[in-house]
């Protein structure tokens, strides 16, 4: 899950990373109060979950309350690079000497954390990384050793910073956020050096590993109580604890286990179809779970046909079949469905499905061909 800039900055502040004084508003009527708090000149920043706001006109410096009101009025309700703007962050303007880039993420290829940094941060970081990748500083952190002084000293040297203390606190903060929240990215771009020589996080980007939902339920639920740019299906899937990704095709996919679900998507693609989603119900799913998963796809207007591919190990095929039948009973909508069900209690499962007129396959290839054909006919 991606956090908004203002949410990330609240977390930064809790971890001792300096941020500009700021207030979030969701209406222009709150602007005078906010400006009174942050002072003038101020910066108004559209809160959306896409990057590149600066270049798209989502970050503006204002010199009066009226100007701030005008800016906020034109931002709220508009969209920025396709994302609706519901909130605006108003901050004190900072006098910038240098803009740096600093982030912490996971380098899966070596199973370590990695600090990425650059002396040239700001809105052009992507081009800089593409043009001169060698200018990006990379410092790996072995999670078993953790963050140490030498990491930060090297960073200080590479970024040509004269002072260690502030930088240490910032990196320490990023590292703690990463661990405490199960983040997979914590980014500050730009991290600025002010004219007075202070280090301040002018922007924030934090993404949290959705698989860690169960460890931070309260935190996630609080975030979810805010309007976010998630699809209906993603919200429901998260509530039920499914691993779900919405895609742009028309064949709804349900599998048990990430590997089987991905293989199912590959099969559909192989036969010329286009998956509408990835949905893994996990191992040992009971009828309730199957029913909930299926209901997500039945409610999805983009799904024209459904392919359920379950390999019954711990999962019992009869439970799966009952879940399917119950979901269909509960929903007014019917969609053509292809079920491939093999393994534990396969015979019982087949019987239940056939009693309800649901086509049953043993071969996943045949099932995939069939569902692609159905979706094609529409």
- The yes or no reply on residue 54 touching ligand GDP (CB under 6 A) is yes
Identify which of residues 122 and 257 has a Cβ nearer to Mn ion in the complex: 122
Residue 67 token pair: 């100007």
- The yes or no reply on residue 122 touching ligand GDP (CB under 6 A) is yes
Alpha helices for 195-286 (secondary structure H): 217-224, 232-240, 258-270
Rounded distance between C-alpha atoms, residue 108 and residue 291, angstroms: 34
User: Per-residue contact track with ligand GDP, 80 to 119, x per CB under 6 A?
Assistant: -------------xx-x--x--------------------
CB of 194 to Mn ion, least distance (A): 16
187 has catalytic annotation: yes
Which is the catalytic residue, given 4, 6, 101, 113? 101
Q: How far is CA 373 from the centre of its chain?
A: 33
Residue 299 phi, psi dihedral angles, 5° rounding:
-85, -10
Choose the one of ligand GDP, Mn ion, none that binds residue 343, judging by a C-beta under 5 to 8 angstroms depending on kind: none
User: Per-residue contact track with ligand GDP, 211 to 250, x per CB under 6 A?
Assistant: ----------------------------------------
β-strands 87-92, 42-47 pairing? antiparallel
- Three-state DSSP state, 17: coil
Rounded distance between C-alpha atoms, residue 215 and residue 201, angstroms: 27
Residue 307 token pair: 């392919």
- The yes or no reply on residue 9 touching ligand GDP (CB under 6 A) is no
- Three-state DSSP state, 161: coil
β-strands 251-255, 243-246 pairing? unpaired
Which is the catalytic residue, given 7, 99, 187, 345? 187
Among 8, 22, 173, 190, binds ligand GDP (CB under 6 A): 190
Among 43, 178, 285, 298, binds ligand GDP (CB under 6 A): 43
Interface with ligand GDP (CB under 6 A), residue total: 17
Identify which of residues 128 and 224 has a Cβ nearer to ligand GDP in the complex: 128
């Amino acid at each position: 899950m991606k956090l908004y800039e203002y949410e990330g900055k609240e977390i930064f502040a809790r971890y001792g990373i300096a941020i500009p004084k700021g207030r979030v508003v969701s209406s222009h009527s709150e602007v005078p109060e906010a400006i009174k708090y942050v002072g003038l000149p101020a910066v108004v920043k559209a809160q959306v979950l896409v990057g590149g706001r600066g270049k798209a006109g989502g970050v503006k410096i204002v010199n009066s309350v009226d100007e701030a009101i005008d800016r906020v009025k034109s931002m709220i309700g508009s969209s920025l690079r396709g994302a609706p703007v519901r909130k605006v962050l108003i901050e004190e303007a900072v006098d910038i000497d240098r803009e740096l880039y600093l982030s912490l993420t996971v380098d899966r290829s070596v199973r370590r954390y990695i600090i990425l940094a650059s002396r040239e941060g700001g809105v052009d970081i992507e081009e800089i990384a593409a043009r001169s990748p060698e200018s990006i500083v990379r410092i790996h952190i072995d999670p078993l050793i953790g963050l140490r002084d030498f990491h930060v000293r090297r960073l200080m040297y590479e970024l040509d910073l004269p002072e260690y203390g502030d930088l240490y606190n910032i990196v320490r903060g990023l590292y703690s956020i990463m661990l405490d929240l199960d983040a997979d990215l914590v980014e500050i771009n730009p991290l600025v050096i002010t004219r007075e020589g202070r280090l301040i996080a002018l922007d924030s980007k934090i993404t949290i590993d959705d698989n860690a939902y169960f460890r931070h339920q309260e935190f996630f639920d609080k975030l979810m109580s805010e309007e976010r740019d998630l699809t209906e299906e993603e919200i429901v899937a998260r509530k039920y604890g499914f691993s779900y990704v919405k895609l742009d095709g028309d064949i709804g996919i349900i599998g048990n286990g990430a590997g089987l679900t991905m293989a199912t998507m590959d099969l559909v693609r192989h036969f010329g179809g286009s998956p509408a989603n990835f949905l893994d119900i996990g191992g040992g799913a009971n009828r309730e779970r199957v029913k909930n998963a299926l209901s997500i796809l039945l409610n999805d207007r983009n799904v024209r046909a459904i392919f359920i591919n379950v390999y019954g190990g711990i999962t019992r095929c009869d439970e799966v079949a009952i879940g399917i039948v119950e979901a269909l009973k509960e929903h007014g909508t019917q969609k053509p469905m292809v079920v491939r069900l093999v393994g534990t209690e396969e015979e019982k499962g087949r019987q239940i499905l056939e009693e309800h007129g649901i086509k049953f396959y043993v071969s996943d290839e045949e099932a995939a061909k069939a569902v692609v054909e159905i979706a094609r006919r529409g």
